[in-house]
Amino acid sequence: MNRTIKNRAFKAPAVISAVAVGAAASAIAFTVPAGAADGPAPLRGADASTAIEGQYIVVMEKQGRSDVAKSEAKSVRGDARDAGGDVREVYNTAFNGFSASLDKDALAEVRDNPDVAYVQANHRYTTQGDQADPTWGLDRIDQAALPLDKNYHYEQTGAGVTAYIIDTGVATDHSEFSGRIGEGFDAVDGDTDAADGNGHGTHVAGTVAGTTYGVAKEATIVPVRVLDDQGSGTTEGVVAGIEWVTENHTDGPAVANMSLGGGNDPALDAAVQASIADGVTYAVAAGNESADACGSSPAAVPEAITVGATDDTDATADFSNTGACLDLFAPGVDITSAWNDGSTNTISGTSMATPHVAGAAALFLEANPSATPADVATGLTGAATPDVVTNPGTGSPNLLLATLF
């Protein structure tokens, strides 16, 4: 993630992603607040700098996939259309709801419906990253202490594990990924061609599972494009991508990398939680605002593995978010990996730290294919090197990623 978006390595406004959940109502991993019974449903995030004017995410009071829940959602969508609104995306697995373009009157109509839990603004997200120099991250994570030994030792390769790269797409013809790319999804254009016109997603994928630059060198990569060629996206698009992962992920072990993020976004967080509840491990970027990660989405999702960035001296990167919502740190400064023009690039951000963790999760899942997302999180934090990160920030766990499990 570059230093501009929250590509958990990018510093950017938050784009909300929804994670699909299981078919049963009990799989929903979040609780919605009371809606319009005592007045209009709450309107959230409309004043944020990342809010897209006139576009909203509507979350229903009843969650799950019962006939009643579906009927109420359909009715509210109909009311929105009748009031002049344009329904854009329908969400069934991430949560029960939809996105829509609504003018003032249509918004009021939707908020006044007692079946609506809350309405939030559709937010725009971006990636984060910086130009820099050398490659050293792989060298750091296979040893407990400095100095680096100029060697990356691994006993697992991520074989049999699928890694979903929720980002700007992936350059599938890059030599780093030869023969290990699965068919993906493009939420930006609404098709299966998740080509990368930016470079960020390819860089992330290269660190997760590239032949030369990757942690898990034999994992299968599936690109999920939710950010455009400028590295920007929206809550509705990210949620659509997460929902696709939840509905289509392999029955075998799976990990998702989200090197993106933004301000607090309940719908995005709910989608990620639902996807994790369906068995997908998520590594997410802490963000690049030099702030408390608990104020960002999806960084604040407790079930996800939230990653801060360090440099080659084990110091916290000056841009990295920190705080109690972090799970661990990983190399994120001057990271070299694949680029979308077939070459390489060296950039910085929590977006670059996060794929080291996603790759390590793939190694853990190869060795422990029945592990739950909670098991993976416990395994990685338990194997992490303690007390070597300098200036970790108030409340941050002093843990540095290590693949010595």
In a domain, 395, yes or no: yes
Question: Among positive and negative, which fits the CA dihedral 389, 152, 380, 280?
Answer: positive
User: Do 113 and 160 fall within a single domain?
Assistant: no
Catalytic residue among 200, 203, 249, 356: 200
Beta bridge partners of 256: 164, 282
25-28: long-range contacts at Cβ-Cβ below 8 A with a sequence spacing of 24 or more?
Answer: 25/63, 25/64, 25/65, 25/66, 25/69, 26/64, 27/274, 27/277, 27/278, 28/63, 28/64, 28/95, 28/274, 28/277
Looking at the fold, whether 174 and 234 belong to one and the same domain comes out as yes
Determine whether 200 is an active site residue. yes
| Residue 333 in domain | yes
The fraction of the chain above a pLDDT of 90, given in percent, is 83
Respond yes or no: is residue 396 known to be catalytic: no
Give tens-digit pLDDT for 328-370: 999 999 999 999 999 999 999 999 999 999 999 999 999 999 9
Whose tokens are 């799970």? That residue is 327
Q: Are 63 and 25 in contact (CB under 8 A)?
A: yes
Question: pLDDT tens, 291-334?
Answer: 999 999 999 999 999 999 999 999 999 999 999 999 999 999 99
Residues 6+ apart with CB under 8 A from 66: 25
Choose one of 108, 124, 140: the last residue of a domain: 124
Same domain? For 91 and 143 the reply is no
Single out the residue in 98, 124, 150 at which a domain terminates.
124
Output the six-digit token pair for 112.
């006044």
Residue 90 is encoded by which pair of tokens? 């329908």
Name the band, by pLDDT with cuts 50, 70 and 90, for residue 126: low
Bridge partners, residue 314, by sequence? none
List phi, psi (to 5°) of 147. Answer: -80, 165
17, part of any domain:
no
In a domain, 227, yes or no: yes
Do 190 and 216 fall into the same domain?
yes
Q: Is the pLDDT score of 270 beyond 70?
A: yes
Domain match, 146 and 113 both: no
**Backbone region of residue 348 per phi and psi (left: phi > 0; alpha: psi in -120 to 50; beta: other values):** beta
Q: Are residues 179 and 76 in the same domain?
A: no
Out of 101, 337, 348, 351, pick the active-site residue.
351
Asked whether residue 52 carries a pLDDT value surpassing 90, the answer given is yes
Band (244; pLDDT cuts 50, 70, 90): very high
Confidence of residue 50 (pLDDT cuts 50, 70, 90): confident
Q: Mean of the pLDDT values across residues 202-211?
A: 97
Please give the structure tokens belonging to residue 161.
């594990």
Could you give the CA distance from residue 106 to residue 80 in angstroms, rounded to a whole number? 6
As a dihedral over the C-alpha atoms of residue 372, residue 376, residue 378, residue 381, rounded to 10 degrees, the angle is -170
Number of domains in the chain: 2
Give burial (CB, 10 Å; 0-12/13-18/19+) of 183: exposed
| CATH for 85 | 3.30.70.80
Residue 4 lies in a domain: no
The size of the chain, in residues, is: 405
Last residue of a domain, one of 91, 124, 157: 124
The answer to whether position 2 is within a domain reads: no
25 pLDDT band, cuts 50/70/90, is very low
- The tens digit of pLDDT for each residue in 142-187 reads 999 999 988 898 889 999 999 999 999 999 999 999 899 999 999 9
Cα distance between residue 69 and residue 46, in whole Å: 26
Could you tell me what percent of the chain has a pLDDT over 70? 88
Q: Which domain holds residue 357?
A: 126-400
Question: How would residue 127 be classed by pLDDT, with cut points 50, 70 and 90?
Answer: low
Same domain, yes or no: 85 and 192: no
> Of the given ranges (117-121, 260-264, 326-330), which has the lowest mean pLDDT?
260-264
Is the same domain home to 291 and 200? yes
Are 184 and 223 spatial neighbours (Cβ–Cβ below 8 Å)?
Answer: yes
Assess whether pLDDT exceeds 70 at residue 17.
no
In a domain, 357, yes or no: yes
79 in the same domain as 173: no
**Which stretch of 28-32, 37-41, 395-399 has the lowest confidence by average pLDDT?**
28-32
Buried b (16+ CB within 10 A) or exposed e, 226-242: bbbeebbbbbbbbbbbb
pLDDT tens for each residue of 274-285: 999 999 999 999
Token couple for 384: 């992490």
How high is the pLDDT of residue 205? 99
316: left (phi over 0), alpha (psi -120 to 50) or beta: beta
Residue 219 within any structural domain of the chain: yes
Residue 293 is predicted with a pLDDT of 98
Same domain, yes or no: 101 and 137: no
* pLDDT for res 16: 29
Residue among 94, 74, 84 at smallest CA distance from 301:
94
Same-domain pairing of 345 and 285: yes
CATH at 201: 3.40.50.200
Same-domain check for residues 289 and 383? yes
Indicate if the pLDDT at residue 23 is higher than 60: no
Q: Where are the beta strands (DSSP E) in 322-398?
A: 328-331, 335-338, 344-347, 385-386
pTM for the whole thing?
Answer: 0.83
Which residue out of 115, 139, 142, 167 is catalytically annotated?
167
Burial of 218 (0-12, 13-18, 19+ CB in 10 A): middle
Structure tokens at 134: 């050398």
pLDDT mean over 233-240? 97
- Based on the residue annotation, tell me whether 153 is a catalytic residue of this protein: no
Encode pLDDT of 61-109 as tens digits: 999 989 999 999 999 999 999 999 999 999 999 999 999 999 999 999 9
Q: How confident is the model at residue 4 (pLDDT cuts 50, 70, 90)?
A: very low
